[in-house]
Structure formats: structure tokens, C-alpha cells
Amino acid sequence: MIWLRFIFLAAIVVATSSVLAKYGDYIAIRTRLGGLLIGAILMASATSLPEFLTAINSIKLGVPDLAGGDIFGSNMYNMLLIAVVSLVGGSKHVLRASFNKHALTGVSAALLIALASFFTVSKLNIMIGWVGLDSLVMIAVYIGALLLLRSNNQQHESIEEEIDEKVPSLGLALLIFGACILALVFVMPHLVDVAHDIATISGLGDGFIGVALVALMSSLPEMVAVIAAARMGYVDMAIGNLFGSNMFNMFALGVVDIFDFQGSFFAQLSDDLVEVGFLGLLMVLIALMGNVARLPRRFKFLEIDAFVLIITFILGMIYLAQRGIGV
């Protein structure tokens, strides 16, 4: 019965988040933001909203490892989806062509993940008011990265194209976007409760359930958005969404501390989650290094770096399952 509840709630979250991402795209088009900024900020924020709401509700329930596992695990799933972009791209070297434009976003994501992993294991627990200094640093670095991306986007912004008449008006897009957010705010507390019950019954721990189950569910909107963008030829938007989502995930870890009055949020996370953070960081670096190496060969239907990402993800999940996270 508990699994049916989880599947039902997860289906609602995925469907709502997919609509959220779609209308977030429409808002970006209507506001005439550049393509790079769309992927890195707007679409990434929209598709990462489930992780953010999961974290807030996990804090209220007193299971911070569920939030940490979900957010750190989502980084791994996002990088796995890069292989999906390569697969959808067919015989073209889509990753090689698009990574150049997103190197700054990828480096920013890597820096934020590295910082979050360090703060998780260091347990600084230095407070400014009721918020941890480490969380404030995360927020500041994220804002700085956005300003840098904005500056870079303005320098490379392409000529504006006419807006398709089929695109909804800005007012309608904002209305539906807001309605989806309200729906997620209502559903996510129930999903967190069920996930915690599954962790308790299975004995796998909140951290591993967050990584393996909740992160998978919360990453499905990214998959929908990425596949849709890649099929339409908007590979830049797809890659930007994935790197940008990793950035927003780490930003969410900092913002969650504002809603937590039990001390530094990072200090409450299990040290085991650092390993999940490092695996996500490794996958981001593999994606970036694949671009630098410019390997010309493909493995079957995939580019070499995409294939390495898949292998790293599989081996990483096997290791985490055997290791036990947050048990």
C-alpha cells in the first residue's frame, strides 16, 4: 500500500513539474531571455523545485538526510541525463558542440558541489543569527555565479527571433506556472512522509532512499524537459538546464537553512552524504573534461564522455547501495 501511495504522489509531482518546466520555458521566451540564461536559470529552477520543496518538508519532519540524499543524488541523475542528450542527438557530436557554451555553468556547478561537500563533512556550525555561515556562503557563491553567467550571456546573446503565435501570453504562462507551484507545495509534504516511511520499513536509511528513490522521482521533470529540448534541436538549452539544475540544487541546500531553526543545516547531514556529493562532482568533471579532450570517437550510439558518465553512475549507485548511506 505504501508503495502505491508513493507511486501515486510521485506521478502527480512529475506531471506537475513537467507542466511547470514547459510554462517556465514560455515565460523565458516571452521575456526574451537569451538561450544560455534560459537553460541555466529559469528552466533549471523550475525543474529543480521538487528537490527544494522536498528539502524544506524533510526539515519539518526532522529527517535532513532525506533532503541531502535527494539533492546530492539529483546531481548524479542530471549528469546521467547528459548521456540521454547524446543519444537523442544521434550521430552528431552534440555534446562537443554545446559544452563550449556551458563551460562556465559547468565549472560553477562543480564549485558549488565541492563547497557543499566540504561544508557537509567539516561541520563548521558557525551561526549568523539562525542561519549557518556555510549556507550564506553557498547563497553568495550562487548569486555571484548567476551575475557572471548573466554578463557572459549578454556578450554572446544571439539576435532575437520573432515569438511564435502558439506561445501563450506572459500572463497566462505566469498563472499556470504559479498554479503548478501551489500544487507542488501541497503534495510534497505527503511525498516526504511516505519516503520516510519506506526508509524506516526497508531499513535502507533516509539518505539512501533520498538518493535512489526520491532523487530519481524529482529528476524526471529534468528528463522530460531535456528530451523535449533535444528533440527540437535546442541542445544548448538542454545542457544548460542540467548544469543549471545542479547549481540550483546546491543553492537550495543553502536556502533551506533559512527555514531550519535547529542550527546549521549542513552540520545536521550525515557524513555519508559527502560520498554522494563527490560522485556528483566527479560526473560534472567528467562532462567538462570530455569537452576539453575533444575525443572524436563514439561508442555505439553514444559519445565517449557520455558512455563514461553512464558507467560512473552505475558503479556509483552500486557502491552506495553496498556502503549504506545514512543508515
* Residue that is written with C-alpha cell 504522489 in the block: 9
Please give the Cα distance from 53 to 9 (Å, whole number): 14
* Residue that is written with C-alpha cell 547531514 in the block: 269
Q: Which residue from 55, 29, 61, 57 is spatially nearest to 42, judged by alpha carbons?
A: 29
Q: List all residues 6 or more positions away from 63 whose beta carbon is below 8 Å from its beta carbon.
A: 192, 196, 199, 206
What's the chain's length in residues?
Answer: 327
Helix (H) or strand (E) holding 244: helix 235-256
Sketch out the chain's domains with CATH numbers: 2-158+165-323 (1.20.1420.30)
pLDDT in tens, the chain (327 residues): 788 988 898 888 888 877 887 787 777 677 765 455 555 566 677 777 888 888 888 888 888 898 899 999 999 999 998 888 877 765 555 566 556 667 888 899 999 999 999 999 998 888 898 899 999 999 999 999 888 887 766 555 544 556 666 778 888 988 998 898 888 888 888 888 898 888 888 887 888 888 888 888 878 777 777 777 677 666 777 777 788 889 989 999 999 989 887 888 899 998 889 999 999 999 999 888 765 555 555 556 667 778 888 999 999 999 988 877 655
Radius of gyration of the chain from its Cα atoms, rounded to whole angstroms: 19
Q: Considering the entire predicted model, what is its pTM?
A: 0.85
Q: Over the chain, what is the mean pLDDT?
A: 81
CB atoms under 10 Å from CB of 320, counted, come to 22
Please give the Cα distance from 29 to 49 (Å, whole number): 20
Please give the Cα distance from 256 to 67 (Å, whole number): 10
**pLDDT tens digit sequence for 163-206:** 666 778 888 988 998 898 888 888 888 888 898 888 888 887 88
Q: Are 234 and 25 in contact (CB under 8 A)?
A: no
Question: What stretches of the chain adopt beta strand conformation (E)?
Answer: 127-128, 131-132, 298-299, 302-303
Q: Are 74 and 220 in contact (CB under 8 A)?
A: no
**pLDDT tens digit sequence for 90-101:** 555 556 655 666
Q: Which residue from 192, 245, 244 is spatially nearest to 69, judged by alpha carbons?
A: 192
User: What pLDDT is attached to residue 159?
Assistant: 45
